[in-house]
């Protein structure tokens, strides 16, 4: 194993591990066509990027693509309205806004 530092992702083994996480996230983020059945996947991928971003640098293109997709989801009135009651709709909108704001902080 090659290491160039002491932090968690400053070695070959950890970077190999992240490759297996990053590729599915990239696939979801960079997919041109998507529908509401993939919204949960997009939101999950965005959340992983947010959580890992303090330790691992994701490609800016992936971050921008996820941000665009979250904005699209946020503006899908039919999907938002499908959540039970105003309280659920409000929660989803707030959570999408939180994710969008957090993703913007991931771009260096």
Which pLDDT tens digit goes with each residue over 47-70?
999 999 888 889 999 999 999 999
For residue 85, being part of any structural domain is answered with yes
Please tell me the total count of domains within the chain. 1
Exposed, middle or buried, 47 (CB in 10 Å: 0-12/13-18/19+)?
A: middle
Range of the domain at 36: 12-106
For residue 33, being part of any structural domain is answered with yes
79-105 pLDDT per residue, tens: 999 988 899 999 999 999 999 999 999
For residue 3, being part of any structural domain is answered with no
> From CA 31, how far away is CA 93, in angstroms rounded?
23
For residue 86, being part of any structural domain is answered with yes
The model's pTM: 0.88
Q: What local confidence, expressed as pLDDT, does residue 71 receive? A: 97
For residue 78, being part of any structural domain is answered with yes
For residue 2, being part of any structural domain is answered with no
For residue 4, being part of any structural domain is answered with no
């Amino acid at each position: 194993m090659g290491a160039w530092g002491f932090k968690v992702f400053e070695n070959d083994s950890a970077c190999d591990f992240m490759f297996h996480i990053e590729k599915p996230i990239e696939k979801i983020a960079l997919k041109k066509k998507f529908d509401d059945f993939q919204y949960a996947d997009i939101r999950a991928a965005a959340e992983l990027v947010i959580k890992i971003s303090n330790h691992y640098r994701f490609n800016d293109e992936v971050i921008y693509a996820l941000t665009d997709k979250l904005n699209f989801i946020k503006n899908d009135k039919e999907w938002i309205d499908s959540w039970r009651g105003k309280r659920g709709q409000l929660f989803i909108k707030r959570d999408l806004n939180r994710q969008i704001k957090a993703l913007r902080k991931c771009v260096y």
